[in-house]
Structures are given as C-alpha cells and as structure tokens.
Amino acid sequence: MTPRNEDEAPRRGKQPRRGSSRDLPGDEQPDDPREGRRGFSSIGEARAYTPRGRTVAERGRVPRTGGRNADPFRPALQVLDGGESGQRTRGRGRPAEQPPAPREKAADKSREKAADKPRAADKPREKSAGKPRERQPERRGRETPGRTGKGGSGPRRTVTSRPKPVPSEPPKLANSTRRLRLGTVLALSLFVTIGVRLVVLQVATSPEEAESLLKLRENRLSTVALPAPRGSILDRDRHVLAHSVEARYVYVDPENEELRKNVAAIAAKLAPLLGIRQSELLEDMGRKQVLGKWLKFRYLARGVPVAVADAIEELDLPGIYTHSDERRDVPGRDLAANLIGFTGDDHHGLEGLEARYDDLLHGTDGKRVFEVGTGKKLNLPIPSGFQQETPARPGSSLQLTIDQDLQYQVQRVLNTAGRKQNATVGSAVVLDIQTGEVLAQASYPPYNAADAEKYDADERIDAASSIVTDPGSSHKAFIFGAALQEGLIKADELIEIGPAIKKGDTKFEDTHPQKTGTRMTLPGLMAYSSNVGTILIADRLGKEKVYEYQRKFGLGRATGEGMPGEAEGELLKPEDWSGSSYGSVPIGHSVSATLIQMAAGFAAIANDGVYIQPHLIKATISGEDGEVTPAAAPETHRVLDADVARQLRLIMEAVVDVDGGTGGAAAVQGYRVAGKTGTGKMLIDGQYTSHNASSFIGMAPADNPRYVIGVSMDVREGGGGDVAAPAFSEMMNYTLLHNHVPPSGSKAPNFKIKE
C-alpha cells in the first residue's frame, strides 16, 4: 500500500470516540490514519498482544500527552510489563532491559513484522528551520533495521526487550506500639495541661482576682428560700388541732436600684396592706451587710393571706416580690392551746408541743439558687443560666393521745369552775390507766393560740405540767399504800388518834378533830383526812421508806409526758429531814409536785399497783410517705401488789361515800368513785402563796377503774372538796359516758369509821 502523504486529507474523517487505543506520550504516529489509531492491521492482532484477549481500552487508558508520533504497541507493552506507564523520552538513551519472558516472544515477532512495513512516519520530516530532524534512539532495547517505502532504508526502529515482572513490594503495616506510645503521650500532655491550669486557678490567682470573681458570682446568683411544709398536730382520731394553710411571704431585694431611689414611697404603699408601720418597713428595706456580703433577700412579712399578696403583685413595685408560704392555723383557737403552743413568723415552734417537737414538725427547708440578669424580677431566672434547687422535705405530723371532744368538755368545766371560784390558775388531767395516755390536759385561764402574742407568758403555760404545789392531803394515799405494801398496817386495823400531834417544834391538828384515844379505821382516817393518823402510820414506815415510795409513785422527777419545760417537783431527802419533817412530809407538805405527777401516782393505784408513764404522743406520721410510727412504749414499774392496790382503792372510796367525808362532792351517779382531796400551797419562785392549792384526784369505776382525773385550782379560800371535787364529778361523768363505760355492778360497802 502506498503511503499517504501528510498533506492529504484523512480518508476516514474523525477518529471514533470509543474503541480506539489512545496514543501514548513520546511515540510517533504513523501517517496512515487507520494505522495511527491502533497500530495494528486489525483488532484481532491487537488482542494478540493483550492478556486474556482484552483490548487496551478495556484495561484502562493512558492519557495522551504527546503528538501523533506515539508507539502503537505501547499500551499492550505496558500491560505486559505489569502496568508500567512511564513515558518514553525522545533523544535519551535507556539501559538495556532483561530478555523478554517466553510468553512475550510471540508479541515481539508480531511487532517486528509490523516494523518492517514501510510507514510514512519513518520518512524524514521537514522542519521550518530547514534542517531535517533526527530520530532519537529509544531509551532502552536494541535497534532493528527498518524499511521506508519500497526497499529504501530509513531509521531503524528499536525493539524493546521486556524484563521479567518484578513483584511490587507489599505495603508496610502500621506500628501499633508506636500508635499506643503516641496516644499515651498526648493523653499525659492533656492531663498535665489541665493540672497546671487548676494549680494556676487555685494557687496562682491573686486575692484581687478571686475577690472579683466572687463578687461577679454573687451579683449573678440569687437565692430564694423554699420553706418546708410544717407537719400538723392531730388528736387521737386524727382531727386537726393545728395545721398549716396556704399563704404567701413578701420579701425585698435591698440592692434593687429602683427600690433605693423610691424606698419611702414604696414603703408607704406596702404599710396598709401588710399592717406594718412604715418606719419598720423602711428599716427592713434598707441595705444590710452580713459577713461582708450585701443581702439581696430579706423578709418583710410571713403568712400573708393570698388575697393580700395578689394585691401587692398588682402594684408591681420594684424590688418587692411574693412567694408561696404557709400560715399556722389553729381551728379550735383555745382548744388544747396550752399544750399545742404556737409558732413564730419563721414557722418554728416557740412554745408547747410546737417547740418541743419542732425538728420533727418543721422538716428541712430547701432553697433555690439561680442566675439572674438585669431584668426587673429577682425571682425570674435566666432560662439558660445556672439553676440549682434543693427541694424542701416536709415535716412529719404529730398524733396526740388527746381526745378532741373530751378536751373541749374538760376545758369548759374547768373554765366555768375557775371563774366561779375566782381562781388565779387551774389545771385538769384525764388519764387512761391501762395505757398511760393523756386523754385531756387543760389549763385555766385559756388563751387563743391563733393570736398568742396578745397574751402574757404566764397565761400561756401548761399548768398541769409546769406549776408545782404542795399536794397536801392527796399525798396521804401514798403513805397508806406504802404501809399496806410493807405490812406495817392491815386494811381492818384500828389506829388510836387524838386531836393533834407534835413533831419537832410544830403541832399538827386535824380538820375533823377526834378525842384523845379514839380508835379509827383506815377508811375513817382517809375519809376525814386525818393528819394525826397519817403521821402515826408514817412513823411506822420511817423516813427512808417514805422517800422510797415517793419515788416509786413518780414524785421528784418529771414524768416525760412530752411537754417542754415540765417541772420535776422536789422531795425532801431523808438526810435533810428536820424534827417537823416527820409531821409535814407525810401529809403532803415539804413536798412539791405537779398535777400530772400526782395523777400518774393515783393511776398506779387504779392499775393494780403498776405505774405507767403518762404520755401525750401516740404516733408520728411521715410527711413524705404517710408512714405511721407509733411512739415508744412508756416506762412501767410495779409499786404495789394488786391485792394491796385493791384494798387501798376500797379505803379511798370512803372519801366520797362516807357522810361527812371530804370528797362527797366528787360522786358520780351510777359509778363508784375512789379518790382523795388535797389542800396545799402553790409555789412561785420558791415562795408559798397565801392562796390554797385545792385539788381532788380520783378514779372510776372504783371496782374496775378505767380513768383517773385530777383537778387543781389556786383559790383564796376553800379546800379540795369544795373547790375541785364538783368539777371532777362533772368531768368524770362525761368521760365515762363518752367512752361507753358501763355503770358499776355493785354499790360501795358501808364503811365503819371508828370503834
């Protein structure tokens, strides 16, 4: 075939877009376009020089970077060389390569045949400079004779000998030890950096910087107290005696700038709503520094009604805010007020059971700390700012042994008797002898616990547990019981007495004087409250035994019923007795005791000789889960044998049933009553008053006692039988009926008084 002149137009137009091998850089293109596209005479021949019969185009194409003079065999040779795609450089030599592998010989022969054919590309090209361009030898391989045109000689084409494929070096694996060391170094560096920073902040920070940070924090943080809901005080049937109701508290931010500019005007608006003088409000709204810090929270009023707080909110006063609070409410007003006591503005107990069990009732207050901005409301936190809330833990409720209805009736009777007798002070106690529970405990005069500040402290005391008196003749029951228990007297024994007896330098007379040598029975001595007979019995006991049984009956120490400030009373120790003490102590003088102590001693007689500690607390009720925890069991001990206690109760019935007895006014219709009158003196600051501490302590039904009631009043004149016995009768009558106690099944015996 005659080679085509380069000046001629191509015979077949543009090269096809797909299916042709692209020229490799550095190789010359043949003049024949058909041969220039592939470098082979046919597709079959090209495939002969590619592995697995695939074309070079299918294995990947090498970008064309040179002109038309490219080696047509280069794509196939690259594949056979193991994928080497290095460019051939014209005019540069190349070291000889190793002989081709056996499987490459066929491809080399085909390439030699193709090289022998005359090609237009083998003809010398004319250059614009006029000098023919010389073909540079190939970089590698050896030269073979080539032909140009017909028999002409031309440049010799280099036939490349293909080297053996050299396996590629496997990739290097990562060094795990190196990575671990590097990670450890980075982690240690991080911790060292943090540690150094902490040391700098805590040690190297100057005092001025620390102070500025604290001030900045204080200015941003605000604290609001969260009062704990206070527990209630309930009666034995869980009727409310005192509880807390919803209210509000009003507080001020003294550091509010608008407040400080108009503090007088703001105080003037608040004063009529809060019922507080403007001068007091101005003082509370002023700036105050505590421990070097300016306060941002101060109470103005606690327990404010909700309606009043709403009115204050509507005024929208700068620096004045309200928050949820509670107010102590006493529904019964004066009902058991002397027992319950009252709380202060901070909801802490100040007197009575409110004070005694304040830790239990109050619970634990919480607080809310939050970050504020420059807004008007102190209690509005920044939504994304710091907030911390410690919730309040509600207090537990206190369940008393008090019977609300019985308490009301006892108070009513005591108040009526106190006014009638013109008493200065009075008290009454109702005990359940089987359990030691205090069912009622009243004081005269009463006061309204809901408005306690209007009453003097002396008017708010619980008289039954805090006022001590000489028990007087009611103490004689203990002397009779001790002598019977010791076997020094017998229940049917006759005691010879006279109108008076002298001990030391003191003469002791009877209110019902008997002739010298009169022989009286024990019921007669008890009914007429004979001083002489009691002193003679005490002589048989001796001062040590008298003191011993006083202690056994509960005198000389507080009962521990639950009231705060309970008085212990006072006993005269045997070593302190004087000559007159042998006469005064047995009849209840030179002895001081509270009414609750005397009632507990009589309850031991009623309970077959077993003393049970009186108590006011029945149980506590958790404010969180409502769990009921019974109070600890009361202390008990035996004072008298059961038979001795029954004999003593029979002797004491004579006080009420014998004509002329001192306690006839204490009788209760349908029930047998045993008890004893007493007339002593009340002690105030260690000094006896000129009044009489008149009392009556008794039990019913005497044949099977259930309750003991003690009544005492301080009056100008009158004994226990005239002053206290009538009140006892009315109280006992209601108590027995209220608790459905059946009437006595038998009548009291006819007592023999004297021989």
Q: Which residues are within 8 A (CB) of 754 and not within 5 positions of it... i.e. 6 or more apart?
A: 494, 514, 518, 519, 520, 521, 524
Question: Nearest CA to 323 among 296, 299, 349?
Answer: 299
In angstroms, what CA-CA distances link 605 with 71, 559, 642, 666?
135, 16, 9, 18
- Mean pLDDT within 633-658: 96
The pLDDT value given to residue 644 = 97
Catalytic residue among 473, 474, 590, 744: 473
Query: Which range (19-23, 39-43, 385-389) has the least confidence?
Result: 19-23
Q: Which amino acid is at 325?
A: D
Top-confidence residue, 738 or 134: 738
pLDDT, position 745: 83
The pLDDT of residue 425: 93
Query: Which pLDDT band, with edges at 50, 70 and 90, does 601 fall under?
Result: very high
Percent of the chain with pLDDT over 90: 45
- Smallest CA-to-CA distance from 732 within 696, 708, 713 is with 708
Q: Is 473 tagged catalytic?
A: yes
Highest mean pLDDT among 5-14, 284-293, 383-392, 706-715: 706-715
pLDDT for 535 beyond 50: yes
Question: Residue with structure tokens 């029954």?
Answer: 646
Tell me the one-letter amino acid at 731: M
Asked whether the bond before 445 is cis by omega within 30 degrees of 0, the reply is yes
pLDDT tens-digit readout, 482-529: 999 999 999 999 999 999 999 999 999 998 999 999 999 999 999 999
Predicted pLDDT of residue 163: 63
pLDDT class for 380, splitting at 50, 70, 90? low
Helix (H, G, I), strand (E, B) or coil at 549: helix
Q: What is the mean pLDDT of residues 617-643?
A: 94
pLDDT for 177 equals 83
N residues, the chain? 755
* DSSP states of 167-234: PPPPPPPP-HHHHHHHHHHHHHHHHHHHHHHHHIIIIIS-HHHHHHHHHHHHHHEEEEEEPPPPPPEE
- Domain spans of the chain? 33-124+133-158, 223-400, 472-738
* Portion of the chain with pLDDT greater than 70, in percent: 71
More confident residue, 256 or 705: 705
Task: Say which amino acid occupies 48.
Answer: A
Instruction: Give the Cα separation of 63 and 711 in Å (integer).
Output: 123
Least confident of 118-132, 265-279, 306-320, 477-491: 118-132
Instruction: Give pLDDT, residue 194.
Output: 87
Among 65-79, 106-120, 337-351, 612-626, which range has the highest average pLDDT? Answer: 612-626
pLDDT digits (tens, 9 = 90+) for 45-59: 544 444 444 444 444
More confident residue, 149 or 523: 523
Q: Quick check: 534 and 479 in contact, CB under 8 A?
A: yes
Q: Looking at 437-500, list the stretches that DSSP marks H as alpha helix, in order from N- to C-terminal side.
A: 457-460, 463-466, 476-485
Query: So what's the pLDDT on residue 291?
Result: 74
CATH topology of 223-400 equal to that of 472-738? no
130 has a pLDDT exceeding 70: no
Chain centroid, CA 702 distance in Å: 51
pLDDT at 642: 96
- Rounded to whole angstroms, the Cα distance separating 682 from 680 reads 7
Instruction: List Cα–Cα distances, 218 to 212, 213, 292, 371, 372, in angstroms.
Output: 10, 9, 12, 9, 10
Q: Measure the CA–CA gap between 477 and 103, rounded to whole angstroms.
A: 138
d(CA 539, CA 490): 15
Task: Please tell me the predicted confidence (pLDDT) of residue 220.
Answer: 64
Task: Output the CA torsion sign for 19, 20, 21, 25.
Answer: negative
The answer to whether the CB of 351 falls within 8 A of the CB of 341 is: yes
The mean pLDDT of 3-17, rounded to a whole number, is 47
Q: Which range, 16-25, 66-75, 245-254, 460-469, has the best average confidence (pLDDT)?
A: 460-469
**299 by DSSP, 3-state: which?**
strand
Are 326 and 394 within 8 A, CB to CB?
no
Closest by alpha carbon to 695, among 716, 670, 678?
A: 678
Mean pLDDT for 226-239 is 90
- Once rounded to an integer, what is the mean pLDDT over residues 462-482? 95
Mean pLDDT over the full length of the chain:
79
Q: Is domain 472-738 in CATH 3.40.710.10, yes or no?
A: yes
User: If DSSP states are collapsed to H, E and C, what string results for 88-133?
Assistant: CCCCCCCCCCCCCCHHHHHHHHHHHHHHHCCCHHHCCCCCCCCCCC
CB 436 within 8 A of CB 603: yes
**Residue bearing tokens 């005080």:** 233
Q: Which residue has the higher pLDDT, 638 or 322?
A: 638
Domain 223-400: CATH superfamily is Penicillin-binding protein 2a (Domain 2) (3.90.1310.10)
Cα 260 from Cα 644, distance rounded (Å)? 79
Distance of alpha carbon 683 from alpha carbon 688, whole angstroms: 5
List the single range of 311-315, 343-347, 370-374 with lowest mean pLDDT. 370-374
Q: Which of 172-176, 315-319, 472-476 has the highest average model confidence (pLDDT)?
A: 472-476
**Assessment of whether the complete model's pTM goes beyond 0.95:** no
* 616 and 488 Cβ atoms separated by less than 8 Å: no
User: For residue 98, how far is the Cα from the chain centroid?
Assistant: 91
Enumerate the H helices of 316-372 as residue ranges: 337-340, 352-356, 358-362
- pLDDT band for position 290 (cuts 50, 70, 90): confident
β-pair partners for 321: 251
Cα 661 from chain centroid?
A: 61
518 compared with 364, residue with greater pLDDT: 518
